[in-house]
Amino acid sequence: MLEICMLASGSSGNAIYVATEQTKLLIDAGLSGKKLAAALTEIDVDPFSLDALLLSHDHNDHTCGAGIMARRYRMPLYATGPTWQAAACKMGPVPEEMCRTLPSFGEMQFADLTVESFPIPHDAAGPVGFVFRQAEKSIALVTDLGMITPDIFQMLQNVNCLVLEANHDEEMLKNGTYPWPLKKRILSSRGHLSNHHAADFLTDIISPVTTHVVLAHLSEHNNLPQLAFNTVGEKLTTAGCEPGRAISLEVARRFGPSCHICLT
Ligand SMILES: [Zn+2]
Ligand SMILES: [Zn+2]
What was the pLDDT predicted at 153? 97
Neighbours of 119 (CB within 10 A): 17
pLDDT tens digits for range 90-142: 888 898 999 999 999 999 999 999 999 999 999 999 999 999 999 999 999 99
Per-position b or e across 6-15, b if 16+ CB within 10 A of its CB: bbbbbbebbb
Domain chopping of the chain, boundaries: 2-263
pLDDT tens digits for range 3-50: 999 999 999 999 999 999 999 999 999 999 999 999 999 999 999 999
Q: How far is the CA of 28 from the centre of ligand 1 (A)?
A: 10
For residues 163-181, give the mean pLDDT. 96
CATH fold of 2-263 reads Metallo-beta-lactamase; Chain A (3.60.15)
What was the pLDDT predicted at 49? 98
Residue 52: CB partners within 8 Å, gap ≥ 6? 25, 26, 75, 76, 77, 78, 100, 110
What was the pLDDT predicted at 200? 97
| CA distances from residue 58 to 29, 38, 92, 150, 174 in whole angstroms, order as listed | 10, 23, 13, 24, 26
Q: How far is the CA of 30 from the centre of ligand 1 (A)?
A: 9
Burial class (CB in 10 A: 0-12, 13-18, 19+), 190: middle
Which bound ligand lies closest to the C-alpha atom of 28?
1
Strands 99-101 and 106-110: unpaired
CA angle 49, 59, 106 (to 5 degrees): 65
Q: How far is the CA of 57 from the centre of ligand 2 (A)?
A: 7
Identify which of 260, 223, 262, 255 has the alpha carbon closest to the alpha carbon of residue 15. 255
What was the pLDDT predicted at 30? 97
What was the pLDDT predicted at 240? 82
Length of the chain: 264
Which bound ligand lies closest to the C-alpha atom of 57?
2
Identify which of 162, 57, 62 has the alpha carbon closest to the alpha carbon of residue 119. 57
Q: How far apart are CA 247 and CA 208, in angstroms?
A: 9
Q: How far is the CA of 173 from the centre of ligand 2 (A)?
A: 17
More confident residue, 85 or 246: 85
Q: How far apart are CA 169 and CA 264, in angstroms?
A: 34
Per-position b or e across 208-244, b if 16+ CB within 10 A of its CB: eebebbbbbbbbeebbeeebbbebbbebbeeeebebe
Identify which of 81, 26, 17 has the alpha carbon closest to the alpha carbon of residue 52. 26
Half-sphere exposure of 71 (CA within 13 A, CB side): 11
Which bound ligand lies closest to the C-alpha atom of 83?
2
| CA distances from residue 75 to 52, 97, 110 in whole angstroms, order as listed | 5, 10, 13
Residues 210 and 236: beta-carbon distance below 8 Å: no
What was the pLDDT predicted at 253? 98
Confidence of residue 197 (pLDDT cuts 50, 70, 90): very high
Mark residue 85 as left, alpha or beta (left: phi above 0; alpha: psi -120 to 50; beta: remaining): alpha
pLDDT averaged over every residue in the chain: 96
Q: How far apart are CA 226 and CA 25, in angstroms?
A: 30
Which bound ligand lies closest to the C-alpha atom of 120?
2
Confidence of residue 243 (pLDDT cuts 50, 70, 90): confident
Widest CA span in the chain: 52
